[in-house]
Amino acid sequence: MTVQNNKKKYKYHLLIVFIFAITFSCIVLHNVSLYNKIIIVTGNSMYPTIKNGEIVLIKERDYLIEQGDIVLIKYKESESLPLFYPHNKYLLKRVIGVGGNTVEISHIANSVYVDGIRIDEPYINYYDGDTTIKKGEPYTIVPAGYIYVLGDNRNNSFDSRNPELGLVSEDDVVGIVMK
């Protein structure tokens, strides 16, 4: 064999590998996009867990909503939403309580209790060093089919403490953030 024949075989094998890699990537991307949604986060309500501009993958099918999950919620446009929600169509929040839970926010202890048990929340960020949990009803019973959600950036979050959002129907959950 000549050097020229070896180069032709090498280029041919390289082309086959390249075509295989592109085909495989297209199949994977198709399957990911078929069952999942890729979003770019706008806003700081989930800081420091998820930062403004971060890309996250949302699982849209075959999920069970559990306490601690981060969910993407469909939300109607609203004039009363703060300016840091520029699109007003989706909210990304952490599930604190599910149907049947009792959620209690203690403004004195700066803690959240679910069914009387204080939940450990190492992911919380208090805006500007203020450790007081602001606003919200101190005691909420979550009915079946609904969830109680809070942002990790507690003092910079439009969430279930705000009566305009309140409890979120599970029907309004688009999916959960894949970990």
CATH code assigned at 80: 2.10.109.10
Q: How confident is the model at residue 134 (pLDDT cuts 50, 70, 90)?
A: low
Same domain? 71 vs 104? yes
Q: Give the range with max mean pLDDT: 27-31, 79-83, 145-149.
A: 145-149
Q: What is the mean pLDDT of the segment spanning 4-22?
A: 82
Same domain, 107 and 92: yes
Same domain (yes/no): 65, 141: yes
Among 29-38, 82-91, 164-173, which stretch is predicted with the lowest mean pLDDT? Answer: 82-91
Give residue 14's Cα distance to chain centre. Answer: 40
Q: Sheet harboring 111-114: ordered strands across?
A: 117-118, 111-114, 102-106, 139-141
41-50, 71-80, 118-127, range with greatest mean pLDDT: 41-50
State residue 126's pLDDT score: 64
Whether residue 120 sits in one domain with residue 150: yes
Average pLDDT for 106-131:
80
* Residues 83 and 149 grouped into a single domain: yes
Do residues 162 and 114 share a domain?
yes
CA distances to 11, 44, 47, 119, 164 from 123, in Å: 51, 13, 8, 11, 25
Q: In what order do the strands lie in the sheet with 173-177?
A: 36-40, 55-59, 173-177, 70-74, 90-98, 146-150, 168-169
> pTM for this one?
0.75
Instruction: Output the pLDDT for position 108.
Output: 76
Do 30 and 94 share a domain, yes or no? no
pLDDT band for 31, please (50, 70, 90 cuts). low
Kindly report, residue by residue over 76-102, the tens digit of the pLDDT. 755 555 545 445 588 999 999 999 999
Domains identified in the chain, total number: 2
The vertex-162 CA angle with 61 and 149, nearest 5°, equals: 30
- Considering the domain architecture, whether residues 59 and 86 belong to the same structural domain is answered as yes
On the CB side of 122, CA atoms within 13 Å amount to: 0
Answer yes or no: do 146 and 116 share one domain.
yes
Domain that holds residue 31: 1-36
pLDDT band (50, 70, 90) for residue 3: low
pLDDT, residue 114, reads: 96
List the catalytic residues: 45, 93
Q: Are residues 72 and 146 located together in one domain of the fold? A: yes
21 with 54, same domain: the answer is: no
pLDDT of residue 68: 96
Taking the CA atoms of residue 134, residue 136, residue 142 and residue 147 in that order, the dihedral angle to the nearest 10 degrees is: -60
pLDDT at 135: 60
Q: Are residues 12 and 94 in the same domain?
A: no
- pLDDT at residue 97, as a whole number: 97
